[in-house]
Amino acid sequence: MAKIIALGAYFYQAVIAFGLLIVVAHWLAPADYASYSLFISICQFAAIAAFEWVRFACMRFYPGADADSEAAERRAILTEALACAMLCLIAAGVSLIFGVPPVVALVGGLVSIAQGGSDLHLTMLRFRQDFRAFSVLQGSRATILAAGTLLGALISPSFLSTVTGLLAGYIAYGLLAFLLSRRADTRPAAALDNVRIRKHLIYGSVSAGAATAAMFAPLALKAIFTSALGATGAAGALLALDLLQRPFVLIVSALQAIQYPEIVAAHDRTGDRAALPRQLGQYYALLTSFALMMAAGIFAALLPATWLVISPDLQQGFLATAPAIIVLSLVRTLTQIMLPTPLHLRQRLALILLLAVADCVLLSLGALAVLALAGANDAALAWGSAIGAILAALIGLRLMSSLAFDFSWPPVLFAAAGLGAAVLAFSLSGETSYVTIGTGIVVGGLFCLLSLNQLRLMMRSPRPSTA
């Protein structure tokens, strides 16, 4: 039940974020939305660059075996978080040298601190098994931040007013989090342990480096789009990047949160290694099938959803780049979450970092190569980046094969057929081809239902005896 509640909070947050992007894209002028999108990406990148190593250390070491170890871990994590906050403020100050307005630099630094700090706090609640507080605060954060952002945009539909509203939302959420998550002061005191901090730094830095590289890839792509097409010309492509990556990350991350602990347990139990290839194969099939079904659903609903919810000024650029962005998002989500699984199990942190860097570099090089060959064309740039992401995934597939697994093909093949039907219907659809769109939805949905049935049979099949 606790897992279901936590997953519900993740889905609620995703729905709120999706709706927020739609409304903000309607309310702001294309140039202001491009600035807003770039601001959010930079703040997310800064939060990950500064705080992610602490969060990875928290996921590995917190809360510890007893109350004393929890107190020591909490003291170390708090000290590390304060140091990370100072780094964000220093980075905001350095940005002034590059012509960033002081108000924007200050708001950006504070938003980065708030995002990184709140993510870390929610991680501590989750690993402390306080799922009630985690679920309430996860949902509350999404609601409050959306309300603050919309209020800022409503007061003045400009970039600065919108991000100031976001900062106000973070302040309100911080007060709520303080009130809801504080506990009775019966916890043991702990001295600051420099050895513990050093252990956190060593363990967390490599994994955080991979996460930072993964986050840098869409930021670099946005910079390429903006520099090549201008803020107004790139707005549709930036909206596609903002909207179409989220569903893949949401569904695959949620499934990983449920299934991955069992994979780790099977790997660490030396007497149960015979079951590991089968469990790995089912895990890979589950993630791949749902990612393909998500892509099928997005392709099937892309045209009517664009006509209904995307601002008319952005529809042309959005539709021109959306197919490539869907492919890019599908491939990159599996590259980041599924393909490095053997590397995580074997703690091959250097290879994890190498794969993330290769993904970022190849994605950017693909877009730059197309820019040099074909010029400033939004669709061509998007497809160039998608090809780069596919090349990185091929490297990831080679690394994934380093640990044996028994892949389950039937659900993946049905999901791929559903995606093929949806892509074909999208390709044949015109401005008013409702019959073609409806056919794609029905046929693609049928194949996806068959895939779900195969997944159900796969998960219910008896496990081999480990006696």
Summarize pLDDT for 232-289 with one digit per residue, the tens: 889 899 999 988 988 898 888 777 766 776 776 677 665 556 678 998 999 999 999 9
198 in a domain, yes or no? no
Q: What are the residues whose beta carbons fall under 8 Å from the beta carbon of 255, sequence distance 6 or more?
A: 286, 287, 290
Select from 192, 209, 239 the last residue of a domain. Answer: 192
Burial 83-105 (b: 16+ CB within 10 A, else e): ebbebbbebbeebeeeebeeebb
369 in a domain, yes or no? yes
Instruction: Answer yes or no: do 319 and 433 share one domain.
Output: yes
Average the pLDDT over each of 65-74, 149-158, 451-460 and give the range with the smallest value.
65-74
Instruction: Answer yes or no: do 300 and 447 share one domain.
Output: yes
Is residue 466's pLDDT more than 60?
Answer: no
Amino acid at 320: A
Q: What is the mean pLDDT of residues 315-329?
A: 95
212 in a domain, yes or no? no
Greater pLDDT, 450 or 348: 450
Omega of the bond leading into 63 within 30 degrees of 0 (cis): yes
202 in a domain, yes or no? no
Instruction: Answer yes or no: do 27 and 147 share one domain.
Output: yes
Greater pLDDT, 301 or 461: 301
Residue 270: its pLDDT value, please? 55
Summarize pLDDT for 374-431 with one digit per residue, the tens: 888 999 999 999 999 999 999 999 999 999 899 999 999 999 999 999 999 998 876 5
Instruction: Answer yes or no: do 257 and 187 share one domain.
Output: no
Under 8 Å between Cβ of 53 and 205: yes
Instruction: Answer yes or no: do 237 and 132 share one domain.
Output: no
215 in a domain, yes or no? no
Query: Distance between CA atoms of 378 and 233, rounded to whole angstroms?
Result: 8
Tell me the pTM: 0.74
Is residue 4's pLDDT more than 80?
Answer: no
Domain limits for position 79: 1-192
Residue 187: its pLDDT value, please? 61
Select from 192, 211, 246 the last residue of a domain. Answer: 192
Sign of CA dihedral 101, 106, 107, 113: positive
Residue 190: its pLDDT value, please? 67
Among 459, 460, 453, 461, CA closest to 293: 453
Among 22, 42, 251, CA closest to 150: 22
Instruction: Answer yes or no: do 175 and 312 share one domain.
Output: no
466 in a domain, yes or no? no
Is residue 356's pLDDT more than 60?
Answer: yes
Instruction: Answer yes or no: do 170 and 245 share one domain.
Output: no
- Band of the pLDDT at 185, cuts 50, 70, 90? low
Instruction: Answer yes or no: do 152 and 287 share one domain.
Output: no
Query: Distance between CA atoms of 179 and 150, rounded to whole angstroms?
Result: 24
Residue 430 CB-density burial (10 A; 0-12 exposed, 13-18 middle, 19+ buried): exposed
- The residue whose two tokens read 């290839």 is 277
- If one counts every other C-beta atom within 10 angstroms of the C-beta of residue 400, the result is 21
Summarize pLDDT for 103-141 with one digit per residue, the tens: 999 999 999 999 999 999 988 887 777 778 888 898 899
Q: What are the residues whose beta carbons fall under 8 Å from the beta carbon of 200, sequence distance 6 or more?
A: 53, 54, 57, 61, 76, 77, 80
Greater pLDDT, 142 or 189: 142
Summarize pLDDT for 41-96 with one digit per residue, the tens: 899 889 988 998 898 888 777 776 677 878 888 899 999 999 999 999 999 999 99
Among 302, 203, 280, CA closest to 458: 280
454 in a domain, yes or no? yes
Residue 8: its pLDDT value, please? 74
- The residue whose two tokens read 């993946």 is 412
Instruction: Answer yes or no: do 11 and 96 share one domain.
Output: yes
Q: How many domains does the chain have?
A: 2
- If one counts every other C-beta atom within 10 angstroms of the C-beta of residue 19, the result is 14
Residue 430: its pLDDT value, please? 66
Instruction: Answer yes or no: do 10 and 48 share one domain.
Output: yes
Residue 467: its pLDDT value, please? 40
Query: Distance between CA atoms of 275 and 254, rounded to whole angstroms?
Result: 23
Greater pLDDT, 158 or 268: 158
207 in a domain, yes or no? no
Is residue 199's pLDDT more than 70?
Answer: yes
Instruction: Answer yes or no: do 175 and 26 share one domain.
Output: yes
Instruction: Answer yes or no: do 65 and 128 share one domain.
Output: yes
Phi, psi angle pair for 406, to nearest 5°: -105, 95
Q: What is the DSSP string of 112-171?
A: HHHHHHHHHHHHHHHHTT-HHHHHHHHHHHHHHHHHHHHHHHHH--SHHHHHHHHHHHHH
Among 4, 8, 25, 13, CA closest to 144: 13
Amino acid at 120: L
